[in-house]
Amino acid sequence: MFKLLFKNMKPKNWVAVIAIFLLTFGEVFFMMQIVNYISLLTSAVQASREKGVAEIWWYGLYMVICAILMAVIEIIIRYVASAAASSSVTMIRQKMYERVNKFAISDFASFSTESLITRTTNDMQNVHLAWLTFLKTAFLAPIVMIWSIVLLAQFANTSLTIVTSVWLVILVVAVIVLLAMVTPKYKIVQKLTDQLNVASRENLTGVRVVRAFNAETYQENKFDKVNTSFTKVQIFAGRVLSFFTPFVMMVMMGLSLSILWASAYVLNGMEMEAAMQAFSTTNAFVMLASQIIMSFILMVTLIVIWPRASVSAKRITEVITHEVSVLDPANPVSFKEEGTIEFKNVGFAYPGADKEAVSDISFKVKKGESIAFIGATGSGKTTIINMIPRMADCTRGEVLVDGVNVKNVTQSDLRDRIGYAPQRGFLFAGNIRENIAFKDPDMTLTDVRWAAEIADADGFVMKKRNEYDSPVAQGGSNFSGGQKQRLCIARAVATKPEILIFDDSFSALDYKTDKTVRGRITEQLPGTTRVIIAQRVGTIMDADQIVVLDNGKMVGIGKHYDLVRNCPVYQEIALSQLSKEELGL
């Protein structure tokens, strides 16, 4: 955990830590002054008959001043600690977010979405709490303890020292047993938190399916199983920790009583004056011993929090230090062409897979042309187009865009040339205009409407009360599937990219709208290269090239007219959708 925090601390955070350390000395100094004045006050009470009560008032005034100064210093320490802890954790959270944003598709295989959410929220909160507690107590506890021990040593009272040591040993043993019982449970808690997030997110995102199949009870039972396991672990840890505070109070009371009991033997038989002096020493000894116990309690509070925070810190570090599979080159090159795509004997295998998902893929597309991919589910269509914007890197062969290998240019430069409409229409929370102008927030409303008209979205947008300022719920849940796809297509064409990628982006559109949108794209963006994945033959019939895939391999490439006659796989797909007469067979 320290490694994670120290690597992500700004210079001002280090200044804050040093300031807290120095301020703690001041707080402890005034704390010990109060203990000293209490001892002097006891002596003053003894001598009050001779000197009056003026001295007692002065000691009381000094104690009040010391208490006020202690309170002021404590407030400053807590303020500085809170600011420093929040600043450090904010930087770590930002670094984690930026790292996740750089993940390629293969990198997400190492972390589930739910786990990444837990690590960004729950785990980060655990680290923040532990670091804040550390800054507030880690300096105070040892300084008070050491200072108190030094003062106790001045009394040179063997019997009282032995009594104090015995109770401290009992407390230490209890803490060791406590940590041995609780620490392993914290590791389980974090894993169960991930599972709770999985169950919750799955139920929320699939709520329509759950209700359609009347599977509410089934989902509730799944959640209840994880929730019960989580609760049992939490209850166990809570029960163990519930014994700690009463036990510590027992130790404190036992220590005080033991010191007083041991002192009774010393005081017994003494003259009144000597007994009062000895009692003053005993009183100071009790207070100093209590300070040691309280310091120990502060340290134990931190120790109890630390194991869970350490588990969380390890999980956060795993994300931050994860080696991203797609990296920018050290010496990026410039593009040589415009709007061209070429695959040279490309193969791709997912991490840990026994064989390639796609193999020996080769084709070339010129500027302004269109290429389409068709094949059965799982044939590798999306895998192929993901390699164009470097969502994943090929494991064999070369992928060239605008005449250069995509691995030799920066990802930002590459993706600036590409517009992408995903298979599953996804919209961001905000409004319609912000979603269409996602790549260029400064885009004018005229350009936004131009893109929406191409995607045949302007009609339904203008019917809304606030038109392009109409709200969009998270994920676009307040739009139909076809509306979401059209808005995603508008977002892709809005910046007039060199290359447009449509990952089955016309599937939710009726055939008429599909044809209208494709026609407008061809008309309005004649120089743009189009890459299309589709399941409908009617969507790709007009493509300049059609690549037919089967089990990750190319089994045909050419125009529709040739493939429908010469490629059995394409012919089978085409005949399952259209008649021979419609296909011209």
Same domain for 21 and 147? yes
Share above pLDDT 70 across residues of the chain, in percent, rounded to a whole number: 89
Q: Are 89 and 131 in contact (CB under 8 A)?
A: yes
- 80-94 burial by CB neighbour count: b if 16+ within 10 A, else e? bbeebbebbbebbbe
* Residue 257: closest CA among 173, 167, 169: 167
Predicted confidence (pLDDT) per residue in 402-441, tens digit? 989 989 998 888 888 889 988 888 888 889 898 888 888 8
| CATH number of the CATH domain containing 471 | 3.40.50.300
| CATH number of the CATH domain containing 246 | 1.20.1560.10
Same domain for 358 and 285? no
User: Has residue 333 been placed in a domain?
Assistant: no
User: Has residue 519 been placed in a domain?
Assistant: no
Same domain for 438 and 379? no
Residue 578 has pLDDT above 80, yes or no: no
Range of the domain at 21: 2-320
Same domain for 313 and 212? yes
Same domain for 386 and 289? no
Total tally of structural domains belonging to the chain: 3
Q: How far is Cα 555 from Cα 547, in angstroms, rounded to an integer?
A: 8
CA 430 remoteness from chain centre: 22
Q: Are 497 and 419 in contact (CB under 8 A)?
A: yes
Strand residue runs (E) in 76-159: none
Q: Are 555 and 527 in contact (CB under 8 A)?
A: no
Residue finishing a domain among 260, 286, 320: 320
| Start-to-end C-alpha separation, the chain | 70
Furthest CA-CA distance within the chain: 126
Same domain for 76 and 188? yes
Same domain for 147 and 17? yes
Same domain for 205 and 296? yes
Mean pLDDT score of the chain, rounded to an integer?
Answer: 81
Same domain for 439 and 400? no
Residue 12 has pLDDT above 60, yes or no: yes
Predicted confidence (pLDDT) per residue in 44-89, tens digit? 555 555 555 666 677 778 878 888 888 898 888 888 888 888 888 8
Same domain for 388 and 283? no
User: Has residue 326 been placed in a domain?
Assistant: no
Same domain for 546 and 429? no
Same domain for 543 and 483? no
* Residue 529: closest CA among 420, 429, 453: 420
Residue 154 has pLDDT above 70, yes or no: no
Residue 573 has pLDDT above 70, yes or no: yes
